[in-house]
Amino acid sequence: MRRPRIGFLLPHYGSHSRSYMPSVVRALADAGAEVDVIHPLERAVDLSQVRVQHDMYVLRQMSRLSLSLAGVLHEQGAVIVNPYPVTVALRDRVIKSRVLQLAGVPTPTTYVASTPSQLAPLLEEGPLVIKPYQEGGQVKIVRTPAELAQVELDRDPVFAQRYHPPQGRDCKIYVIGEQLFGVKKVFPRRTQEEKLGEPFTLTPELSDIARRCGRAFEIDLYGMDVIESDGKAYVVDMDSIPGYKGVPDAPLLLARYFYDVAERAVEGRPPSSGGRRDSGYFH
Ligand SMILES: Nc1ncnc2c1ncn2[C@@H]1O[C@H](COP(=O)(O)OP(=O)(O)OP(=O)(O)O)[C@@H](O)[C@H]1O
Ligand SMILES: [Mg+2]
């Protein structure tokens, strides 16, 4: 078999970045793959030259240009991990929350509105968390109409969840193929130690919820944020290809995962995955 060709669409990593992605790129090259970083771009590119030239692309969200380039490759039939439509759905909290609800994942009651003031009557039943509907920005807990009046979202849609006071730390769940990893982390996280968190053993209930999230989007490379409140678990967020901080050997496991998908693409075999092809949502 010829060497698999893999293209990476990555965010800009500064020299102080502790991202695992540069190690993943190196590990794939060491394993014999031909690896190119397609984005960040080194220079202006003639759009008509953007063609599928790799067996597989890795799309790590964040930059809007990388997302547009992924869309351009998707339209030309590229194999992308995670697939372009799934990455787009997972960047939009409104879409991802409804998909998770439909898959029977326990989530806080979730509201959408055109202006923050429309949420005021909901505060009578308790606090809300307002979140940017797409990536970036910070979540805000709102308890009173006065606090609500201070929320500025420009013209973005308003996305809010019922606030459930968490018992203890966040349960982060990371998934790489068949493997699930639980890591407890405080929120917010500042130090390197806090970002690495502390591994914990997933209960069967949390494993089941995690699998359900993957099946809902037909992917098996993702992360979730779960809080426990009043003895109940709530999935408050899900991400495509998260940072995997605190997952033992994450760079190696990710490199193996990508190599496997790329090899299958070279051989014309479909990507293998326990979690995929279930709900039909993206078909
Ligand atoms: N509905 C909620 N009730 C209680 N706490 C919540 C709720 N939603 C979020 N949180 C807390 O806020 C944290 C951040 O929420 P979320 O993951 O939605 O935002 P984020 O901007 O994506 O943050 P991160 O990048 O850390 O994942 C959660 O890990 C949790 O501790
Ligand atoms: Mg999150």
Please say which residue of 121, 139, 162 terminates a domain: 162
Evaluate whether residue 233 is within a structural domain.
yes
- Average pLDDT value for the chain: 93
Same domain for 54 and 178: no
Sheet containing strand 170-176, edge to edge, reads: 198-200, 179-185, 170-176, 221-229, 232-240
Same domain, 221 and 101: yes
The pLDDT tens digits of the residues spanning 261-276 come to: 999 999 988 776 544 4
Provide the CATH number for the domain around residue 20.
3.40.50
Q: What is the mean pLDDT of residues 5-19?
A: 90
- What three-state secondary structure class fits 101? helix
Q: Which atom of ligand 1 is nearest to the CA of 162?
A: 1
User: Residue 271's pLDDT is what?
Assistant: 75
Q: Whose CA is nearest to atom 13 of ligand 1?
A: 187
Question: What number is the average pLDDT over the span 34-38?
Answer: 94
Read off the pLDDT of residues 154-212 as tens digits, 9 standing for 90 and up: 888 999 999 999 999 999 999 999 999 999 999 999 999 999 999 999 999 999 999 99
Give the pLDDT confidence of 82-141 residue by residue, as tens digits: 999 999 999 999 999 999 999 999 999 999 999 999 999 999 999 999 999 998 789 999
Q: How remote is the CA of residue 243 from the centroid of ligand 2, in Å?
A: 11
The protein residue with its alpha carbon nearest to ligand 1, atom 10, reads: 236
Domain that holds residue 38: 5-82+249-282
Joined together, the tokens standing for residue 46 give: 């003639």
**Residue 20 reports pLDDT greater than 80:** yes
pLDDT digits (tens, 9 = 90+) for 201-254: 999 999 999 999 999 999 999 999 999 999 999 999 999 999 999 999 999 999
Q: What is the mean pLDDT of residues 145-156?
A: 91
In a domain, residue 87? The reply is no
Instruction: Characterize 236-265 residue by residue with b for buried, 16 or more Cβ atoms within 10 angstroms of its Cβ, and e for exposed.
Output: bbbbbbbbbbbbeebbebbbbbbbebbbbb
Smallest CA separation from ligand 1 atom 14, residue:
139
Residue 277 has pLDDT above 50, yes or no: no
- Burial classification of residue 92, based on how many CB atoms lie within 10 Å of its CB (0-12 exposed, 13-18 middle, 19 or more buried): middle
The label of the residue with tokens 């409140």 reads 229
For residues 68 and 11, state if they share a domain.
yes
Rounded to the nearest angstrom, the distance between the alpha carbon of 210 and the centre of ligand 1 is 16
**In this structure, are 100 and 122 located in the same domain?**
no
Task: Compute the distance from residue 239 Cα to the ligand 2 centre, in Å.
Answer: 7
Task: Report in angstroms the alpha-carbon separations of 102 from 28, 66, 172.
Answer: 37, 29, 22
- Pick the residue whose CA is nearest to atom 19 on ligand 1: 139
Block residue for tokens 């459930």: 164
Question: Above 60 in pLDDT, residue 149?
Answer: yes
Token readout for 62 is: 């964040």
pLDDT of residue 278: 44
Distance 238 CA to ligand 2 centre (A): 6
**Who lines ligand 1 at CB under 6 A?**
108, 129, 131, 139, 161-164, 166, 170, 187, 225, 227, 236-237
Please report the atom of ligand 1 found closest to the CA of residue 225: 29
Q: Which ligand is nearest to the CA of 134?
A: 1
Whether residues 139 and 203 fall in one domain: no
The whole model's pTM is what? 0.94
- Asked which of 122, 144, 162 is the last residue of a domain, the reply is 162
97 and 182 assigned to the same domain: yes
pLDDT at residue 77 is higher than 50: yes
Shared-domain flag, residues 175 and 236: yes
pLDDT of residue 272: 67
Number of domains making up the chain: 3
Nearest-atom index, ligand 1, CA of 189: 26
Q: How far is CA 111 from CA 28, 216, 275, in A?
A: 42, 20, 28
Please tell me the distance between residue 75's alpha carbon and the centre of ligand 2 in angstroms: 28
Same domain, 26 and 141: no
Give the amino acid at 161.
Q
Percent of the chain with pLDDT over 90: 84
* 12 plus 62 within the same structural domain: yes
Verify that 117 and 141 share a domain, yes or no.
yes
For residue 137, give the ligand 1 atom closest to its CA: 21
